[in-house]
Amino acid sequence: MSPRVDRAALTAAIKTEAARLGFEWVGVTTPDPPPHLDVYRAWLARRRQGSMAYLAAERAVSRRADPRRILPSCRSILVVGMRHAPPPSADGPRLAAYALGEDYHRVVLERLERLMTFLQPRAAEPFEYRLYTDTGPLLERELAQRAGLGWIGKNTCLIHPRHGSYFLLGEALVSEPLEPDAPFVADRCGTCTRCLDACPTACILPDRTIDARRCISYQTIENRGPIPPDLRPAIGDWIFGCDVCQQVCPWNVRFAAPTPIPEFEPAPGSASPDPRAFLEGTAPLRRSPLTRAGRNGMARNAAVVMGHRPRAEDVEALGRALIEHADPIVRGHAAWALGQIGGAAAEACLRRAAKTETDSGAQKEIDAALASLRSSGGEDPAQG
């Protein structure tokens, strides 16, 4: 960069280009160590990250403690926000709003690369950068708050004062010194506790952290094992993720708006997904955030959702999965769902499977479902 180009002018030019690329919010902060690191370490010490061991890896923690351990030449951090679609209003099986369109990792990172292409000829040499969205060892919401994009709400989401929280964050660590923005210091949640009150599993804690082990998003996306039986009733209609704490937030009620990003427009059928398609593995996942859970995870989640709606037409699909699915975790959740639906047909499926099941975990689920049917004596959904 020419020494005659001042830092403020370059920063303004970058923000203008970022807006042209679809980033509605852009802020700049420094790579100073985050003041909230002690909160993060305490959260890890209480094992509230669940099975996400990568969050507790010492190398990852040390990088979160100082972004310059990621990029030693880092002088500035650009934080960008891109709006995704708001949740659909329809009831029934659902996916988290950010997962209705294409995979945001690809969309955000491709546009950040284009922003770096703009910056590079205007920056000092050698120019270095690292790009992240959600996957890097950064406390990105804390960085976004420092960059002036909003405050961290009681639901742990970053909330923009004029747009709510239905947006995705991306970061660019750059070697170029840029003009930092003033941090957002106000806490505009006030006395509101709607997110805490509405959370189906009470996973939102008073200290503005999440117990991931109880979070529906964690259970349906990150958890690779069985969903704990005591949490399955709370899963409700959520096949992937959960938006409850954002849906009730007054800032989203007021400011939710359609996405201007074509790739984030809801894909056909995503606003009212058919859980049977996920159970049977016919629903498309490619280029979607749903790939994070994988086909087996989506089938497991779909079985739980089907267990909450006593429909006779689901019994056949669950019965097939109980016998034929290659993953014993999916078979076990199909058994649980049949136990919830009840009726003679569901019981017959469970009894057939009990004779052939070889996995101890799935067999335990079958036995529990049969015991539930015996104790409930419920109405046959085919006759209801």
The catalytic residues are 134
> Quick count: other Cβ atoms within 10 Å of Cβ 187?
12
What is the rounded CA–CA span in Å between residue 163 and residue 231?
32
Task: Report the residue count for the chain.
Answer: 384
Token pair for 111: 């546009």
Helix (H) or strand (E) holding 17: helix 7-20
SS (H, E, C) 195-238: HHHHCCCCCECCCCCECHHHCHHHHHHHCCCCCCCCCHHHHCCE
> Quick count: other Cβ atoms within 10 Å of Cβ 355?
7
What are the residues whose beta carbons fall under 8 Å from the beta carbon of 264, sequence distance 6 or more? 82, 83, 84, 85, 98, 100, 101, 102, 104, 107
| Burial degree of 324 (CB within 10 A; 0-12, 13-18, 19+) | exposed
Contact 71, 175 (CB under 8 A): yes
